[in-house]
DNA sequence: TGTACATCAGTGAACGCGCGTTCACTGATGTAC
DNA sequence: TGTACATCAGTGAACGCGCGTTCACTGATGTAC
Protein backbone atom coordinates (compact mmCIF):
# COMPACT_ATOMS: atom_id res chain seq x y z
CA UNK A 1 0.00 0.00 0.00
CA UNK A 2 1.09 3.50 -0.78
CA UNK A 3 -0.04 4.91 2.58
CA UNK A 4 0.09 3.61 6.13
CA UNK A 5 -2.72 1.33 7.21
CA UNK A 6 -4.71 3.95 9.08
CA UNK A 7 -3.98 6.70 6.58
CA UNK A 8 -7.49 6.91 5.14
CA UNK A 9 -9.04 6.83 8.57
CA UNK A 10 -6.84 9.72 9.66
CA UNK A 11 -7.70 11.74 6.56
CA UNK A 12 -11.38 11.10 7.20
CA UNK A 13 -11.03 12.31 10.79
CA UNK A 14 -9.13 15.40 9.68
CA UNK A 15 -11.89 16.33 7.20
CA UNK A 16 -14.60 15.90 9.84
CA UNK A 17 -12.63 17.95 12.36
CA UNK A 18 -11.93 20.79 9.95
CA UNK A 19 -15.54 20.77 8.65
CA UNK A 20 -16.89 20.80 12.19
CA UNK A 21 -14.90 23.95 12.96
CA UNK A 22 -15.71 25.68 9.67
CA UNK A 23 -19.44 24.86 9.78
CA UNK A 24 -19.63 26.45 13.22
CA UNK A 25 -17.85 29.55 11.96
CA UNK A 26 -19.50 29.99 8.55
CA UNK A 27 -22.63 27.85 8.64
CA UNK A 28 -23.36 24.81 6.49
CA UNK A 29 -23.90 26.86 3.33
CA UNK A 30 -20.83 28.99 3.98
CA UNK A 31 -18.41 26.09 3.57
CA UNK A 32 -17.65 24.63 0.14
CA UNK A 33 -16.27 21.15 -0.31
CA UNK A 34 -13.47 22.15 -2.69
CA UNK A 35 -12.43 24.96 -0.38
CA UNK A 36 -12.53 22.68 2.66
CA UNK A 37 -10.47 19.92 1.04
CA UNK A 38 -7.87 22.31 -0.31
CA UNK A 39 -7.37 23.70 3.20
CA UNK A 40 -6.24 20.18 4.12
CA UNK A 41 -3.96 19.93 1.08
CA UNK A 42 -6.37 17.63 -0.72
CA UNK A 43 -8.34 17.92 -3.94
CA UNK A 44 -12.13 17.99 -3.89
CA UNK A 45 -12.58 14.81 -5.93
CA UNK A 46 -11.36 12.66 -3.08
CA UNK A 47 -14.17 13.82 -0.87
CA UNK A 48 -16.62 11.23 -2.21
CA UNK A 49 -14.38 8.35 -1.24
CA UNK A 50 -14.95 9.44 2.37
CA UNK A 51 -18.55 10.65 2.43
CA UNK A 52 -21.76 9.86 0.64
CA UNK A 53 -22.50 13.53 0.13
CA UNK A 54 -22.35 16.86 1.94
CA UNK A 55 -25.28 15.91 4.17
CA UNK A 56 -23.29 12.92 5.40
CA UNK A 57 -20.42 15.24 6.33
CA UNK A 58 -22.80 17.59 8.15
CA UNK A 59 -24.08 14.66 10.22
CA UNK A 60 -20.59 13.54 11.15
CA UNK A 61 -19.38 17.08 11.83
CA UNK A 62 -22.30 17.68 14.20
CA UNK A 63 -21.64 14.43 16.03
CA UNK A 64 -17.96 15.33 16.33
CA UNK A 65 -18.94 18.78 17.59
CA UNK A 66 -21.19 17.27 20.26
CA UNK A 67 -18.33 14.98 21.34
CA UNK A 68 -16.02 17.96 21.62
CA UNK A 69 -18.60 20.07 23.44
CA UNK A 70 -19.09 17.26 25.89
CA UNK A 71 -15.38 16.89 26.61
CA UNK A 72 -14.94 20.62 27.12
CA UNK A 73 -17.98 20.69 29.38
CA UNK A 74 -16.72 17.83 31.53
CA UNK A 75 -13.37 19.57 31.85
CA UNK A 76 -15.04 22.73 33.17
CA UNK A 77 -17.41 20.74 35.41
CA UNK A 78 -14.48 18.86 36.93
CA UNK A 79 -12.57 22.05 37.60
CA UNK A 80 -15.35 24.16 39.11
CA UNK A 81 -18.77 22.56 38.66
CA UNK A 82 -21.67 24.11 36.76
CA UNK A 83 -20.62 27.58 37.86
CA UNK A 84 -17.34 27.23 35.99
CA UNK A 85 -19.13 25.75 32.97
CA UNK A 86 -21.60 28.64 32.81
CA UNK A 87 -18.79 31.16 33.30
CA UNK A 88 -16.86 29.69 30.40
CA UNK A 89 -19.92 29.31 28.19
CA UNK A 90 -21.02 32.93 28.59
CA UNK A 91 -17.53 34.36 28.07
CA UNK A 92 -16.58 36.86 25.36
CA UNK A 93 -14.07 34.29 24.16
CA UNK A 94 -16.86 31.81 23.44
CA UNK A 95 -18.98 34.44 21.70
CA UNK A 96 -16.06 35.54 19.53
CA UNK A 97 -14.87 32.06 18.57
CA UNK A 98 -17.71 29.88 17.33
CA UNK A 99 -15.19 27.62 15.61
CA UNK A 100 -13.89 26.41 18.96
CA UNK A 101 -17.20 26.67 20.77
CA UNK A 102 -20.40 24.76 21.35
CA UNK A 103 -22.23 23.54 18.23
CA UNK A 104 -25.65 24.39 19.65
CA UNK A 105 -25.67 28.17 19.24
CA UNK A 106 -23.60 27.98 16.06
CA UNK A 107 -25.80 25.59 14.09
CA UNK A 108 -29.15 25.03 15.80
CA UNK A 109 -31.18 27.27 13.46
CA UNK A 110 -29.78 25.45 10.45
CA UNK A 111 -30.07 21.99 11.99
CA UNK A 112 -33.78 22.62 12.40
CA UNK A 113 -34.11 22.79 8.60
CA UNK A 114 -32.41 19.48 7.89
CA UNK A 115 -34.00 16.07 7.26
CA UNK A 116 -35.98 14.17 9.87
CA UNK A 117 -33.20 11.53 9.93
CA UNK A 118 -30.45 14.07 10.57
CA UNK A 119 -32.41 15.74 13.33
CA UNK A 120 -33.05 12.36 14.95
CA UNK A 121 -29.31 11.59 14.95
CA UNK A 122 -28.63 14.98 16.47
CA UNK A 123 -31.30 14.47 19.12
CA UNK A 124 -29.95 11.06 20.09
CA UNK A 125 -26.41 12.29 20.69
CA UNK A 126 -27.55 15.51 22.34
CA UNK A 127 -29.77 13.54 24.69
CA UNK A 128 -26.75 11.55 25.88
CA UNK A 129 -24.93 14.76 26.78
CA UNK A 130 -27.97 15.94 28.72
CA UNK A 131 -28.07 12.69 30.73
CA UNK A 132 -24.41 12.93 31.61
CA UNK A 133 -24.77 16.53 32.73
CA UNK A 134 -27.90 15.67 34.74
CA UNK A 135 -25.91 13.20 36.84
CA UNK A 136 -23.66 16.01 37.97
CA UNK A 137 -26.34 18.34 39.27
CA UNK A 138 -27.12 18.13 43.01
CA UNK A 139 -29.92 15.81 44.13
CA UNK A 140 -30.95 12.31 43.11
CA UNK A 141 -33.96 13.08 40.96
CA UNK A 142 -32.46 12.43 37.54
CA UNK A 143 -35.67 13.22 35.67
CA UNK A 144 -35.89 16.60 37.38
CA UNK A 145 -32.22 17.24 36.74
CA UNK A 146 -32.73 16.49 33.07
CA UNK A 147 -35.29 19.29 32.91
CA UNK A 148 -32.84 21.57 34.69
CA UNK A 149 -30.07 20.77 32.24
CA UNK A 150 -32.43 21.38 29.32
CA UNK A 151 -33.38 24.74 30.78
CA UNK A 152 -29.74 25.69 31.37
CA UNK A 153 -28.70 24.62 27.87
CA UNK A 154 -31.58 26.59 26.31
CA UNK A 155 -30.54 29.72 28.16
CA UNK A 156 -26.83 29.24 27.46
CA UNK A 157 -27.12 28.45 23.77
CA UNK A 158 -29.73 31.18 23.33
CA UNK A 159 -27.54 33.76 25.02
CA UNK A 160 -24.53 33.01 22.82
CA UNK A 161 -26.62 32.98 19.64
CA UNK A 162 -28.23 36.32 20.55
CA UNK A 163 -24.93 37.86 21.65
CA UNK A 164 -23.41 36.91 18.30
CA UNK A 165 -26.39 38.26 16.38
CA UNK A 166 -26.10 41.60 18.16
CA UNK A 167 -22.46 41.89 17.12
CA UNK A 168 -20.03 44.18 18.85
CA UNK A 169 -22.60 46.19 20.83
CA UNK A 170 -23.13 46.90 24.50
CA UNK A 171 -26.29 44.77 24.27
CA UNK A 172 -24.26 41.75 23.25
CA UNK A 173 -22.16 41.85 26.43
CA UNK A 174 -25.26 42.63 28.49
CA UNK A 175 -27.07 39.50 27.29
CA UNK A 176 -24.17 37.30 28.34
CA UNK A 177 -23.85 38.99 31.73
CA UNK A 178 -27.59 38.77 32.41
CA UNK A 179 -27.82 35.11 31.49
CA UNK A 180 -24.77 34.25 33.57
CA UNK A 181 -26.09 36.15 36.58
CA UNK A 182 -29.55 34.59 36.54
CA UNK A 183 -28.25 31.10 35.89
CA UNK A 184 -25.93 31.47 38.88
CA UNK A 185 -28.99 32.39 40.96
CA UNK A 186 -30.82 29.37 39.54
CA UNK A 187 -27.95 27.08 40.57
CA UNK A 188 -27.81 28.63 44.04
CA UNK A 189 -31.52 27.87 44.45
CA UNK A 190 -31.14 24.13 43.79
CA UNK B 1 -49.74 56.90 -13.58
CA UNK B 2 -50.45 53.30 -14.38
CA UNK B 3 -50.80 52.26 -10.75
CA UNK B 4 -52.33 53.90 -7.69
CA UNK B 5 -50.15 56.34 -5.80
CA UNK B 6 -49.12 53.97 -3.05
CA UNK B 7 -48.85 50.96 -5.34
CA UNK B 8 -45.06 50.69 -5.20
CA UNK B 9 -45.05 51.14 -1.44
CA UNK B 10 -47.56 48.32 -1.09
CA UNK B 11 -45.55 46.03 -3.36
CA UNK B 12 -42.44 46.80 -1.33
CA UNK B 13 -44.24 45.95 1.90
CA UNK B 14 -45.59 42.72 0.41
CA UNK B 15 -42.09 41.62 -0.62
CA UNK B 16 -40.69 42.36 2.85
CA UNK B 17 -43.55 40.53 4.52
CA UNK B 18 -43.25 37.45 2.34
CA UNK B 19 -39.45 37.42 2.64
CA UNK B 20 -39.65 37.76 6.40
CA UNK B 21 -41.84 34.67 6.59
CA UNK B 22 -39.81 32.64 4.13
CA UNK B 23 -36.44 33.54 5.67
CA UNK B 24 -37.71 32.29 9.01
CA UNK B 25 -38.88 29.07 7.44
CA UNK B 26 -35.98 28.32 5.08
CA UNK B 27 -33.12 30.52 6.24
CA UNK B 28 -31.50 33.36 4.28
CA UNK B 29 -29.77 31.01 1.84
CA UNK B 30 -32.87 28.90 1.40
CA UNK B 31 -34.85 31.68 -0.26
CA UNK B 32 -34.11 32.76 -3.83
CA UNK B 33 -35.12 36.17 -5.15
CA UNK B 34 -36.72 34.88 -8.37
CA UNK B 35 -38.67 32.29 -6.41
CA UNK B 36 -39.78 34.87 -3.83
CA UNK B 37 -40.93 37.40 -6.42
CA UNK B 38 -42.81 34.83 -8.47
CA UNK B 39 -44.72 33.80 -5.36
CA UNK B 40 -46.07 37.36 -5.33
CA UNK B 41 -46.90 37.24 -9.04
CA UNK B 42 -43.91 39.42 -9.93
CA UNK B 43 -40.80 38.85 -12.01
CA UNK B 44 -37.37 38.86 -10.42
CA UNK B 45 -36.04 41.84 -12.39
CA UNK B 46 -38.26 44.24 -10.52
CA UNK B 47 -36.64 43.36 -7.23
CA UNK B 48 -33.80 45.84 -7.69
CA UNK B 49 -36.19 48.76 -8.02
CA UNK B 50 -37.16 48.04 -4.41
CA UNK B 51 -33.93 46.92 -2.76
CA UNK B 52 -30.24 47.62 -3.15
CA UNK B 53 -29.45 43.92 -2.94
CA UNK B 54 -30.40 40.78 -1.03
CA UNK B 55 -28.63 42.02 2.10
CA UNK B 56 -30.88 45.07 2.10
CA UNK B 57 -33.93 42.80 1.99
CA UNK B 58 -32.56 40.70 4.85
CA UNK B 59 -32.17 43.84 6.97
CA UNK B 60 -35.72 44.96 6.26
CA UNK B 61 -37.16 41.48 6.73
CA UNK B 62 -35.49 41.19 10.13
CA UNK B 63 -36.78 44.60 11.21
CA UNK B 64 -40.26 43.64 10.07
CA UNK B 65 -39.96 40.37 11.95
CA UNK B 66 -38.98 42.17 15.14
CA UNK B 67 -41.97 44.49 14.73
CA UNK B 68 -44.26 41.52 14.31
CA UNK B 69 -42.70 39.65 17.23
CA UNK B 70 -43.20 42.70 19.39
CA UNK B 71 -46.85 43.05 18.47
CA UNK B 72 -47.55 39.39 19.11
CA UNK B 73 -45.71 39.60 22.42
CA UNK B 74 -47.70 42.62 23.56
CA UNK B 75 -50.91 40.85 22.66
CA UNK B 76 -49.99 37.88 24.86
CA UNK B 77 -48.71 40.12 27.66
CA UNK B 78 -51.96 42.08 27.64
CA UNK B 79 -54.04 38.94 27.75
CA UNK B 80 -52.19 37.05 30.48
CA UNK B 81 -48.85 38.65 31.34
CA UNK B 82 -45.47 36.98 30.98
CA UNK B 83 -46.94 33.62 31.86
CA UNK B 84 -49.15 33.73 28.79
CA UNK B 85 -46.24 34.94 26.65
CA UNK B 86 -44.00 32.09 27.80
CA UNK B 87 -46.82 29.59 27.33
CA UNK B 88 -47.35 30.72 23.76
CA UNK B 89 -43.64 30.94 22.98
CA UNK B 90 -42.88 27.40 24.15
CA UNK B 91 -45.88 25.87 22.39
CA UNK B 92 -45.68 23.09 19.78
CA UNK B 93 -47.42 25.47 17.40
CA UNK B 94 -44.53 27.92 17.66
CA UNK B 95 -41.95 25.18 17.20
CA UNK B 96 -43.74 23.81 14.15
CA UNK B 97 -44.36 27.16 12.46
CA UNK B 98 -41.21 29.25 12.29
CA UNK B 99 -42.75 31.29 9.47
CA UNK B 100 -45.29 32.79 11.85
CA UNK B 101 -43.02 32.79 14.89
CA UNK B 102 -40.30 34.81 16.53
CA UNK B 103 -37.31 35.75 14.34
CA UNK B 104 -34.80 35.12 17.11
CA UNK B 105 -34.70 31.31 17.12
CA UNK B 106 -35.26 31.15 13.37
CA UNK B 107 -32.42 33.38 12.26
CA UNK B 108 -30.05 34.19 15.12
CA UNK B 109 -27.28 31.76 14.06
CA UNK B 110 -27.29 33.25 10.58
CA UNK B 111 -27.58 36.85 11.75
CA UNK B 112 -24.36 36.36 13.70
CA UNK B 113 -22.51 35.81 10.43
CA UNK B 114 -23.72 39.00 8.74
CA UNK B 115 -21.93 42.35 8.51
CA UNK B 116 -21.16 44.56 11.49
CA UNK B 117 -23.66 47.13 10.16
CA UNK B 118 -26.49 44.61 9.84
CA UNK B 119 -25.87 43.25 13.32
CA UNK B 120 -25.88 46.79 14.73
CA UNK B 121 -29.27 47.46 13.11
CA UNK B 122 -30.60 44.22 14.55
CA UNK B 123 -29.23 45.06 18.00
CA UNK B 124 -30.79 48.52 17.99
CA UNK B 125 -34.28 47.26 17.19
CA UNK B 126 -34.00 44.25 19.47
CA UNK B 127 -32.90 46.49 22.33
CA UNK B 128 -36.08 48.53 21.97
CA UNK B 129 -38.19 45.39 22.35
CA UNK B 130 -36.25 44.48 25.48
CA UNK B 131 -36.92 47.90 27.02
CA UNK B 132 -40.61 47.66 26.33
CA UNK B 133 -40.82 44.20 27.85
CA UNK B 134 -38.79 45.31 30.88
CA UNK B 135 -41.39 47.95 31.74
CA UNK B 136 -43.97 45.21 32.10
CA UNK B 137 -42.10 43.08 34.61
CA UNK B 138 -42.93 43.67 38.29
CA UNK B 139 -40.79 46.17 40.23
CA UNK B 140 -39.36 49.58 39.40
CA UNK B 141 -35.75 48.65 38.76
CA UNK B 142 -35.70 48.91 34.98
CA UNK B 143 -32.00 48.01 34.68
CA UNK B 144 -32.59 44.82 36.66
CA UNK B 145 -35.70 44.04 34.64
CA UNK B 146 -33.70 44.45 31.44
CA UNK B 147 -31.36 41.70 32.62
CA UNK B 148 -34.36 39.55 33.44
CA UNK B 149 -35.86 40.05 30.01
CA UNK B 150 -32.54 39.20 28.38
CA UNK B 151 -32.35 36.03 30.42
CA UNK B 152 -35.92 35.05 29.55
CA UNK B 153 -35.40 35.75 25.84
CA UNK B 154 -32.18 33.72 25.81
CA UNK B 155 -33.96 30.76 27.36
CA UNK B 156 -37.05 31.08 25.16
CA UNK B 157 -35.23 31.51 21.86
CA UNK B 158 -32.74 28.81 22.80
CA UNK B 159 -35.49 26.37 23.68
CA UNK B 160 -37.30 26.83 20.37
CA UNK B 161 -34.09 26.58 18.35
CA UNK B 162 -33.09 23.39 20.17
CA UNK B 163 -36.57 21.90 19.97
CA UNK B 164 -36.56 22.48 16.20
CA UNK B 165 -33.07 21.01 15.83
CA UNK B 166 -34.16 17.84 17.64
CA UNK B 167 -37.06 17.40 15.22
CA UNK B 168 -40.01 15.25 16.04
CA UNK B 169 -38.54 13.47 19.06
CA UNK B 170 -39.57 13.16 22.69
CA UNK B 171 -36.55 15.30 23.56
CA UNK B 172 -37.92 18.17 21.50
CA UNK B 173 -41.13 18.34 23.52
CA UNK B 174 -39.18 17.83 26.75
CA UNK B 175 -36.96 20.87 26.11
CA UNK B 176 -39.99 23.10 25.65
CA UNK B 177 -41.71 21.74 28.74
CA UNK B 178 -38.59 22.11 30.89
CA UNK B 179 -37.91 25.66 29.80
CA UNK B 180 -41.53 26.66 30.34
CA UNK B 181 -41.62 25.10 33.78
CA UNK B 182 -38.40 26.71 35.02
CA UNK B 183 -39.26 30.10 33.56
CA UNK B 184 -42.60 29.97 35.36
CA UNK B 185 -40.70 29.32 38.58
CA UNK B 186 -38.38 32.21 37.74
CA UNK B 187 -41.37 34.54 37.28
CA UNK B 188 -42.94 33.34 40.52
CA UNK B 189 -39.74 34.24 42.35
CA UNK B 190 -39.74 37.88 41.22
C1' DT C 1 -59.79 68.54 -28.06
C1' DG C 2 -55.96 65.95 -29.99
C1' DT C 3 -51.25 64.52 -30.29
C1' DA C 4 -46.48 63.87 -28.87
C1' DC C 5 -43.76 63.01 -25.10
C1' DA C 6 -42.27 61.82 -20.22
C1' DT C 7 -42.79 58.75 -16.44
C1' DC C 8 -41.96 54.61 -14.09
C1' DA C 9 -43.32 49.89 -12.06
C1' DG C 10 -42.60 45.88 -13.80
C1' DT C 11 -40.60 42.31 -17.56
C1' DG C 12 -37.60 38.65 -18.95
C1' DA C 13 -33.40 37.33 -21.48
C1' DA C 14 -28.75 37.16 -20.40
C1' DC C 15 -24.42 37.40 -17.57
C1' DG C 16 -20.79 35.36 -14.64
C1' DC C 17 -20.03 32.61 -10.76
C1' DG C 18 -19.59 29.10 -7.37
C1' DC C 19 -21.51 25.10 -6.02
C1' DG C 20 -22.06 19.75 -5.39
C1' DT C 21 -21.09 15.87 -7.83
C1' DT C 22 -19.06 12.49 -11.34
C1' DC C 23 -15.55 9.89 -13.41
C1' DA C 24 -11.59 8.42 -16.09
C1' DC C 25 -7.23 8.59 -14.61
C1' DT C 26 -2.53 8.48 -11.79
C1' DG C 27 1.10 6.45 -9.47
C1' DA C 28 3.09 4.34 -5.48
C1' DT C 29 2.88 0.13 -3.43
C1' DG C 30 1.82 -4.90 -2.23
C1' DT C 31 1.20 -9.43 -4.22
C1' DA C 32 1.13 -13.55 -7.32
C1' DC C 33 3.80 -16.59 -9.92
C1' DT D 1 14.85 -12.81 -7.93
C1' DG D 2 12.22 -10.50 -11.49
C1' DT D 3 8.09 -9.18 -13.83
C1' DA D 4 3.16 -8.47 -14.53
C1' DC D 5 -0.85 -7.30 -12.32
C1' DA D 6 -4.16 -5.68 -8.59
C1' DT D 7 -5.15 -2.27 -5.24
C1' DC D 8 -6.75 2.07 -3.84
C1' DA D 9 -6.23 6.98 -1.91
C1' DG D 10 -6.09 10.81 -4.15
C1' DT D 11 -6.31 13.95 -8.73
C1' DG D 12 -8.43 17.36 -11.60
C1' DA D 13 -11.18 18.33 -15.74
C1' DA D 14 -15.87 18.53 -16.69
C1' DC D 15 -20.97 18.50 -15.85
C1' DG D 16 -25.46 20.74 -14.87
C1' DC D 17 -27.67 23.81 -11.94
C1' DG D 18 -29.38 27.64 -9.40
C1' DC D 19 -28.08 31.78 -7.77
C1' DG D 20 -27.74 37.21 -7.51
C1' DT D 21 -27.52 40.78 -10.50
C1' DT D 22 -27.87 43.77 -14.85
C1' DC D 23 -30.19 46.05 -18.43
C1' DA D 24 -32.68 47.18 -22.63
C1' DC D 25 -37.26 47.07 -23.02
C1' DT D 26 -42.72 47.38 -22.40
C1' DG D 27 -46.94 49.54 -21.98
C1' DA D 28 -50.34 51.98 -19.40
C1' DT D 29 -50.90 56.35 -17.85
C1' DG D 30 -50.34 61.52 -16.83
C1' DT D 31 -48.89 65.85 -18.78
C1' DA D 32 -47.47 69.65 -21.98
C1' DC D 33 -48.78 72.38 -25.71
Q: Tell me: the pLDDT tens digits for B92-150?
A: 999 999 999 999 999 999 999 999 999 999 999 999 999 999 999 999 999 999 999 99
Strand C interface, B 154-183, C-beta < 7 A: none
CA distance A118 to A16: 16
Q: Which residue has the higher pLDDT, B55 or B7?
A: B55
Check whether residue A44 has its CB closer than 7 Å to nucleic acid strand D. Answer: yes
pTM of the model: 0.95
Cβ neighbours of residue B151 closer than 8 Å, sequence gap 6 or more: A155, A159, A178, A179, A181, A182, A183, B186
User: Nearest residue (Cα to C1') for D22?
Assistant: B45
The gap between B54 CA and D22 C1' (Å) is 14
Minimal CA–CA distance to A144: which of B181, B61, B23?
Answer: B181
Contact list in A for residue B144 (CB cut-off 8 A) is none
Check whether residue A32 has its CB closer than 7 Å to nucleic acid strand D. Answer: no
Angle, helices B54-89/B116-134, rounded to nearest 10 degrees:
30
Q: Could you give the percent of chain A with pLDDT greater than 70?
A: 99
Q: What is the mean pLDDT of chain B?
A: 96
The answer to whether A171 contacts B127, with C-beta atoms less than 8 Å apart, is: yes
> Given this model, what pLDDT does residue B62 score?
98
User: Nearest residue (Cα to C1') for D25?
Assistant: B45
CA distance B90 to B159: 7
Amino acid sequence: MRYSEDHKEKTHAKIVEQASKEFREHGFEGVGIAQLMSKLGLSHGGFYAHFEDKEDLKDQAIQHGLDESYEMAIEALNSGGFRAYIEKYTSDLHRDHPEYGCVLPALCSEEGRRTVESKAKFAERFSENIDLFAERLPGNDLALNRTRVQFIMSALSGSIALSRATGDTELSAEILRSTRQHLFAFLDGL
